Amino acid sequence: MKILFYDTKSYDKESFEATLKKFPGIQIDYIRSDLDPRTAALADGFDAVCAFVSSNVSEATLKILHEKGVRLVLLRCAGYNNVDLEKAAAYDICVMRVPGYSPEAVAEHAMALALACNRRLYKAYNKVRENDFSLAGLMGFNFYGKIAGIIGTGRIGAAMCRICNGFGMKVIAYDVYENPDLKDFVTYVTLDELLAQSDLISLHCPLMDSTYHLIQLDTIKKMKDGVILVNTSRGALVKTEDLIEGIRLHKFAGVGLDVYEEETKNVFEDRSDEILEHSTTARLLSFPNVMITSHQGFFTKEALEAIAETTLQNALDFESGKKSPNQVQ
């Protein structure tokens, strides 16, 4: 099988090349361009393409891939809302994903953001670099004994629940489906109850019609004053304009974001200064209690190895006709 690998970063190539040794029947060509209608024609002669959450797998892209003979879209990520699944079915293109590469990696990063916001680590670091060892502006609060509200208790959300429980926090959660593995230390509540009670709110749910802009002005107003909000899931779970308004209203002790509404293309890559200046993500950077990282929650050695392993196994399963739970279309 020949795979064209889009939006290649150096770490992608290293992890996939190392894993490829166990899959001798697969050949990969790597390109830096991301997948969209302008670049889809580059897949001419390939059996499959490998794409990411930022890729544009729309009807226009799928039409070109179909014309070029591509039969499989391999998503090296869990999310697939960037794929037009109806059109993929119409063009007889299979879509497969990596549903659980390293839930602990993302959950640990979520807690790292929460701690950094709470203890003002970014501000403390900069103060000390300027030879200022004063404690002014650095006060946080104990997580021990506080309430952690976890929205979404799949694999990553469950890992975050376990971390918060380990910190001695009371853990409450909201999800359409309750996770039975958490019954000993997690109490499920309504969304309104979670918003009103939590000192830390961490988002770990997929992006769907029902969760789009889950966090907006109405839900922000229901939160405690001085709450910490963390999002390592999907950017569009939060309405950025309303988040900015909530920050201006002094609702948050801190906000930690690893994803943002403009995540279809990282606002810090390949953007002119003028565009960056007017992006809502850049506006968030102007607030001293906001910490933003560059969608790195998944970025651990173990996670990259798991992504490569699962993606290549997906390709092998497709080629052999084996049914896989990782197939989304």
| Helical pair 121-129 and 103-118, crossing angle rounded to 10 deg | 60
Q: Where are the beta strands (DSSP E) in the chain?
A: 2-5, 27-30, 48-51, 72-75, 94-96, 147-151, 170-174, 186-188, 200-203, 227-231, 252-257, 290-292
Out of 261, 262, 263, 309, pick the active-site residue.
Answer: 263
Residue 38 among the catalytic residues:
no
Residue 204 among the catalytic residues:
no
- For residue 235, CA distances in Å to 72, 123, 214, 253, 256 come to 27, 24, 11, 20, 12
Residue 263 among the catalytic residues:
yes
Q: Could you identify the residue written with the tokens 């109850």? A: 193
- The sign one gets for the Cα dihedral 268, 270, 272, 278 is negative
Out of 109, 120, 204, 234, pick the active-site residue.
Answer: 234
- Counting Cβ atoms within 10 Å, is residue 228 exposed (0-12), middle (13-18) or buried (19+)? buried
Cβ proximity of 314 and 49 under 8 Å: no
Measured distance CA(35)–CA(49) in Å, rounded? 9
Cβ proximity of 247 and 217 under 8 Å: no
Measured distance CA(298)–CA(288) in Å, rounded? 25
- Counting Cβ atoms within 10 Å, is residue 75 exposed (0-12), middle (13-18) or buried (19+)? buried
DSSP assignment of 124-181 equals: HHHHHHTT----TT------TTSEEEEE--SHHHHHHHHHHHHTT-EEEEE-SS--GG
- For residue 241, CA distances in Å to 217, 237, 294, 322 come to 9, 12, 19, 45
Read off the DSSP letter of residue 47: S
Out of 155, 262, 295, 309, pick the active-site residue.
Answer: 295
Q: Mind telling me the catalytic residues?
A: 234, 263, 295
